[in-house]
Amino acid sequence: MKPTFIGIGAQKCASSWLYRILEDHPEACLSEPKELDFFSYFFHFGFQWYEDHFKCTASAKAIGEISPSYLHDYLAPKRAADYEPRLKVIVSLRDPIERALSQHKHMIRIGFFKGPDFSFEAGLKANPTYIEQGLYAKYLDLWLASFPQEQLLIVFMDDIRADAGAVARQVYRFLGISEDHQPAALNVKANPSYVVNHRALDDFVIRCRGIARGLGLRAVWKVLARTPLRWFYESLNRIESDTVVPPLRPETIDRLHQALDVETRRLARMTGRELPWTADTRESRGKSG
């Protein structure tokens, strides 16, 4: 069964929210797991491997998957277009500086950045993709070279925060499914940032979740997640990331603006939308405040 749409990121830009507002829609069918990374990392596995992840009924009107690795992968756009030129493509974006900080916290959460200095500046030295993945216009150029503009929908996290329902309806309309659906996770924050106290315990829980999903017990795992057991585990093993990650230094913010502002301005022209992410906009807002 071939997908009719893909979500391509960017990373840490509400892709999990998009998955959740679609997975319980009666006219949509999502892959399991969420991120297949086929057109980026696993293209060599072949189309049968890819299509085996879509266990959909004939009534599904929108079939798809969401892999944030696609946006910044140079080969993914052409691979996706060659596979199915009619694919609809959803792009989710946010303030690139905010995105970079969120990526840093995510790297800490999954144990890819271990400190002992947990500052963003230390993380940036170890991972240049903090900036690279925020060059949205650069990567959208590649996707627009492979797909017509009417097959791309760009949603912004700013809009999700302001009116999640309106953005959900926009996504449903784009995919040609009913806009009347009320998703259970509409206003639920996905993937909150945290620091793990005991990495081995967290890895064990992640493995258990993977096993449960592999055995078709995802619904059971969701029920367990709503019990006091989850609260007990999180209180034991998780710390809010803001308690260990200090605020960005002013000179770091200046550096990020220098690296990102040209692409942000170009994105504004591409989308025909004024974006409150440039250095000038931030400065004017600061003066007005």
Nearest residue to 20 via CA among 157, 190, 212: 190
The CATH number of the domain where 3 resides is what? 3.40.50.300
Domain assignment present for 27: yes
Total domains in the chain come to 1
pLDDT in tens, 106-145: 998 888 898 889 999 999 999 999 999 999 999 999 999 9
Does 63 reside within a domain?
A: yes
Residue 88 confidence (pLDDT) above 90 = yes
Task: Classify residue 114: in a domain, yes or no.
Answer: no
Entry pTM: 0.85
Give the pLDDT band of residue 289 (cuts 50, 70, 90).
very low
Quote the CA–CA distance of 92 and 69 in Å, as a whole number. 12
Q: Which residues, in sequence order, are CB contacts of 3 under 8 Å at separation 6+?
A: 31, 54, 63, 64, 65, 84, 87
Q: What's the pLDDT tens digit per position in 26-77?
A: 999 999 889 999 999 999 999 999 999 999 998 899 999 999 999 999 999 9
Decide if 270 is inside a domain. Answer: no
Domain limits for position 95: 1-106+134-187
Q: Write out pLDDT tens, residues 139-191.
A: 999 999 999 999 999 999 999 999 999 999 999 999 999 999 999 888 887 66
- Tell me what percent of the residues of the chain surpass a pLDDT of 70: 82
Is the pLDDT assigned to residue 287 strictly greater than 90? no
Task: With a cut of 80, say whether residue 104 has pLDDT above it.
Answer: yes
Which residues does 22 contact at the CB level (< 8 Å), separation at least 6? 28, 30, 62, 64, 171, 175, 183
Q: Does residue 61 fall inside a structural domain?
A: yes
